[in-house]
Amino acid sequence: MARKAIFITGGGSGIGRATARHFADQGWFVGVADVNVQGIDETAALLPEGASSRHVMDVRDRDQWQAALAEFAKASGGRLDVLFNNAGIGSGGQFVDMPPAEADRLIAINFGGVVNGIYMALPLLRATPGSAILNTGSASGFYGVGGLAVYSATKFAVRGLTEALEIEFAKYGIKVRSLMPGFIDTPLLDQVSADSNEPARSRLAASGFEISPVEDVAKAAWDAVHGDKVHVPVGKMAKRLSRLARFFPGLVAKQSKKVDGLGTAAH
């Protein structure tokens, strides 16, 4: 029997790269997909020989999805045990200052890319017993965050899609899960917003927000596809927000206002 296989979008850096390394260390075959060729090559170089395939693709393009998954299936022996919809962008800033074209891009990649991936991968997932879909959400999908309005909205959409498809796909034996990380130590935190020349990393630290290592998300990804929880918060902040959003939404609103203006995404 062919070894288990995972296809990871956004695999050229950050969460995708860390997850690729974690699953490869467990003996899985990894499809590394990204728009960044250099990033793909750098990730693949960190994986064991013969443990990965490379796929240059844009998650907004269903034809590219189809071609990449066909190549992946040939390399994986026809298996797709986990589809990891991880690709995303993290534009922030006040809603009135965000160009509509940038809002369109956020929606198309962060949510449309997930929808496209599920549509295109479903035949392979249904043909692989015990398969799973894992979507990268965000702690900002628990409660809307000022300065991240459109980004938060895309993560709410990912959360809702995950919950609905967990119900719908049960009859196919396919798990549907989401990761809900807080602020993660990736290059996104080095971005500088239009209203400040200080990186978001520094402003988060000054405000007392926890920044979790990317390896924590990779471990959570493993736990998510092997566990029973639909949503898996990552980091103390995300776990706290998950509880507060359920029972004390007013407190979450106050904490969210502290993030307003940071101009960067939660992961």
Per-residue pLDDT of the chain (267 residues; tens, 9 = 90+): 579 999 999 999 999 999 999 999 999 999 999 999 999 999 999 999 999 999 999 999 999 999 999 999 999 999 999 999 999 998 888 999 999 999 999 999 999 999 999 999 999 999 999 999 999 998 887 778 788 899 999 999 999 999 999 999 999 999 999 999 876 555 554 454 445 444 444 444 434 455 567 788 999 999 999 999 999 988 666 556 655 555 445 555 555 555 544 444 445
262 Rama sector, left if φ>0, alpha if ψ -120 to 50, beta otherwise? alpha
List the catalytic residue out of 119, 143, 151, 172.
151
Q: What's the angle, vertex CA 235, arms to CA 233 and CA 238, rounded to 5?
A: 50
Domain locations along the chain:
5-259
**Residue type for position 231:** H
Contact criterion met (CB below 8 Å) for 71 and 5: no
For residue 69, what are its two tokens? Answer: 């998954």
Chain mean position to CA 218: 11
DSSP class of residue 187 equals G
Q: Is 91 helix (H, G, I), strand (E, B) or coil?
A: strand
For residue 18, what are its two tokens? Answer: 């860390």
| 119 assigned to active site | no
Contact criterion met (CB below 8 Å) for 193 and 93: yes
Class of domain 5-259: alpha beta
Q: Is 263 helix (H, G, I), strand (E, B) or coil?
A: coil
